[in-house]
């Protein structure tokens, strides 16, 4: 887990070393264990390293000399490749000779030489990397399937800048050359709380998840998507026998394998434990696997919130005691300098965020980093296994929008956004939209089109037009399935995963997400919504999978607690 960046020139002008140094300085927080710069002709690469695998021999930028008619390659890489040992064995049988013992970065160099653009689809893990081919004068960029690791690009005149964070791209630019705000992205940010593709800054793009792109020294670009999530499942008829007959067992097996693959590290490893189903299941499976390997006790970490109504730490303690983990409870200090911390995070990332959980995630990561360098998390469970109440709301809207839209908003006013009255008010507002996409947009919006217009009158017409749409929305017979698919492709990568990456890498902590393993994602998406959300029961598959592993009654008690909290 690291920070990467670089500059590719489309002319014969050299790249000033000071500009590469500026990029490195902007991302040192991502890699406190080492750094490197490769000032190559036409292309300069920079890297800040967080040492997790093969710490003594994994320095970057890492180069491979020319081989036959193939040119020399240089790579900078951010992430972890969990099947690197298997790929190494395959490459060795094909004649490749490795210099390192178990460094996954070197696998990328030999893999690119052997498979070219076919490399990313062979990789299992989270990654963003750049490989420069000196002979072809071509830069190869790639990202993982879900978008766990970021990779931003900015094309400015005769050059391309790329990096793990937007601030990395801006660092080598003089103030007068820095991009302004993108109006379309700003409308999305105001409405949904995050910008997708493109970013908030004009011209700054993100390499899409599950995609690769090449840029040559003349500025020509080429790209391709190498993986797409399974289509929305209509019914269980097409499922394989195990998944159809026992989806719970199939899910538990896939998640257990994903957890086991993420336990390799040459640095201390632990697990976030919020007390929710997702992280509790991950922690229980991790502890089981460590015990099977004879590798000791899992370390788990949770935060005790100062307000009792929002404090899940008692559940985390109960789970930790049951699975036998070595648990550390971190107190959320009510006197935290919120403004200072938020300003710091925005400066590191280069753009604002509207996700209020960024700060608690940062505080948890900062405290956890004092004990371990790697933490497993339960991210992805809500989107894959129907964890949000709004999925149930989409079904209600499909059936009852006619009378819901007639409810007078004045009778539903509430100061508590989690109260039943406030939730019915939100349903009534969503019912006023004319399309499934518009209704779901209303459910997940922070500001309505009318509020966006009041903030920025020049955006009124566009905001009203976009109120009935969501980018890449695909209708489905069950609107909950369409909502889950949209969240997986948009809310998850553009909000949640960005938040986790920025909060954790601000303190040099690697976070691994077993529930976002390719096999788990594809299994979940093959399950129709009727299986993932039976009779409106959220996370039914995960709850059933976790029941034999967690304390008796905790699954139901968590559901009851959340219902009480929301009134």
For the chain, the C-alpha Rg in angstroms (whole number) is 24
Mean pLDDT, residues 254-263 taken together? 98
Per DSSP bridges, beta strands 374-376 and 510-512 are parallel
Measured from the Cβ of residue 337, the count of other Cβ atoms closer than 10 Å reads 10
Contact criterion met (CB below 8 Å) for 289 and 259? yes
Map out the domains of the chain as residue ranges. 2-225, 241-385+479-565, 390-466
459-466, Cβ contacts within 8 angstroms, sequence gap of 24 or more: 459/183, 459/186, 459/187, 459/190, 462/183, 462/184, 462/187, 463/187, 463/191, 466/187, 466/191
| Average of per-residue pLDDT values in the chain | 91
CA distance 519 to 516: 8
**What is the assigned CATH class of domain 241-385+479-565?**
alpha beta
| pLDDT of 229 | 92
| pLDDT of 564 | 36
With residue 401 as reference, give the H or E element that holds it: helix 389-404
CA distance 133 to 521: 33
Of 85, 73, 151, 71, the closest CA to residue 123 belongs to: 85
| Model pLDDT for residues 98-157, shown as the tens digit of each residue | 999 999 999 999 999 999 999 999 999 999 999 999 999 999 999 999 999 999 999 999
| Model pLDDT for residues 305-317, shown as the tens digit of each residue | 777 666 778 889 9
Does the fold of domain 241-385+479-565 match that of domain 2-225? no
pLDDT band at 298 (very low <50, low <70, confident <90, very high): very high
Q: Report how far apart, in Å, the C-alpha atoms of 420 and of each of 186, 407, 416, 565, 567 are.
A: 31, 14, 9, 10, 6
Mean pLDDT, residues 16-40 taken together? 96
Residue 249 above 90 pLDDT?
yes
| pLDDT of 251 | 95
- Share of residues in the chain with pLDDT > 90 (%): 78
User: Among 134-148, 166-180, 297-311, which stretch is predicted with the lowest mean pLDDT?
Assistant: 297-311
| Model pLDDT for residues 446-460, shown as the tens digit of each residue | 999 999 999 999 999
CATH number of 2-225: 3.60.20.10
Mean pLDDT, residues 4-29 taken together? 96
Token pair of 206 as six digits: 């993100």
| Model pLDDT for residues 211-229, shown as the tens digit of each residue | 999 999 899 999 999 999 9
Buried b (16+ CB within 10 A) or exposed e, 481-520: bbbbbbbbbbbbbbbbbbbbbbbbbbbbbbbbbbbbbbeb
CA distance 542 to 267: 29
CA distance 374 to 265: 8
| pLDDT of 561 | 39
pLDDT band at 414 (very low <50, low <70, confident <90, very high): confident
Return all residues near 343 (Cβ < 8 A) that are at least 6 apart.
Answer: none
- 307 backbone dihedrals φ, ψ, rounded to 5°: -95, 120
pLDDT band at 243 (very low <50, low <70, confident <90, very high): low
| Model pLDDT for residues 334-371, shown as the tens digit of each residue | 567 888 999 999 999 988 889 988 988 999 999 899 99
């Amino acid at each position: 887990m690291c920070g990467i960046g670089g500059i590719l020139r489309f002319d014969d002008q050299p790249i000033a070393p000071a500009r590469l140094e500026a990029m490195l300085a902007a991302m040192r927080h991502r890699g406190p264990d080492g750094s490197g710069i490769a000032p190559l002709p036409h292309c300069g690469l920079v890297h800040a390293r967080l040492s997790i695998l093969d710490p003594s021999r994994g320095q970057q930028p890492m180069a491979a000399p020319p081989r036959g008619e193939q040119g020399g390659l240089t790579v900078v890489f951010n992430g972890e490749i969990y099947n690197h040992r298997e790929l190494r064995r395959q490459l060795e049988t094909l004649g490749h000779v490795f210099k390192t013992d178990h460094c996954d970065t070197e696998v990328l160099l030999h893999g690119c030489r052997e498979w070219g653009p076919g490399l990313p689809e062979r990789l299992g893990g989270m990654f963003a990397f750049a490989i420069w081919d000196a002979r072809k004068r071509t830069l190869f960029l790639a990202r993982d399937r879900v978008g766990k690791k970021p990779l931003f690009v900015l094309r400015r005149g005769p050059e391309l800048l790329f990096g793990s964070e937007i601030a990395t791209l801006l660092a080598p630019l003089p103030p007068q050359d820095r991009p302004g705000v993108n109006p379309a992205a700003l409308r999305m940010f105001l409405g949904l709380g995050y910008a997708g593709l493109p970013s908030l800054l004009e011209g700054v793009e993100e390499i899409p998840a599950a995609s690769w792109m090449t840029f040559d020294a003349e500025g020509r670009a080429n790209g391709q998507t190498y993986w797409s999530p399974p289509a929305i499942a209509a019914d269980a008829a097409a499922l394989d026998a195990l998944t159809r007959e026992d989806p719970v067992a199939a899910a538990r097996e896939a998640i257990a394998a994903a957890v086991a693959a993420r336990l390799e590290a040459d640095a201390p490893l632990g697990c976030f434990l919020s007390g929710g189903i997702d992280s509790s299941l991950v922690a229980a499976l991790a502890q089981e696997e460590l015990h099977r390997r004879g590798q000791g006790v899992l370390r788990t970490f949770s935060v005790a919130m100062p307000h009792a109504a929002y404090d899940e730490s008692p559940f985390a303690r109960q789970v930790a005691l049951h699975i036998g983990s070595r648990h550390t409870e971190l107190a959320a200090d009510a006197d935290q300098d919120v403004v200072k911390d938020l300003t710091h995070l925005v400066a590191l990332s280069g753009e604002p965020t509207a996700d209020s959980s960024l700060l608690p995630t940062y505080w948890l990561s900062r405290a956890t980093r004092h004990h371990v360098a790697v933490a497993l998390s339960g991210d992805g469970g809500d989107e894959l296994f129907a964890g949000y109440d709004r999925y149930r709301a989409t079904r209600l809207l499909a059936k009852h929008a006619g009378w819901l839209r007639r409810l007078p908003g004045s009778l539903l006013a509430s100061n508590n956004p989690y109260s039943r009255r406030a939730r019915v008010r939100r349903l009534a507002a969503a019912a006023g939209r004319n399309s499934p996409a518009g209704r779901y947009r209303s459910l997940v919006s922070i500001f309505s089109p009318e509020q966006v217009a009041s903030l920025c009158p020049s955006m009124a017409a566009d905001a009203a037009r976009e109120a009935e749409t969501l980018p890449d929305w695909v209708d489905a017979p069950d609107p909950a399935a369409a909502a889950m698919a949209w969240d997986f492709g948009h809310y998850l990568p553009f909000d949640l995963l960005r938040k986790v990456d920025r909060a954790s890498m601000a303190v040099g902590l690697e976070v691994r997400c077993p529930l976002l393993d390719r096999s788990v994602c594809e299994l979940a998406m093959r399950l129709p919504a009727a299986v993932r959300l039976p009779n409106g029961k959220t996370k039914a598959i995960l709850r059933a999978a976790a029941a034999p592993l967690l304390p008796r009654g905790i699954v139901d008690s968590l559901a009851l607690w959340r219902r009480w909290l929301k009134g």
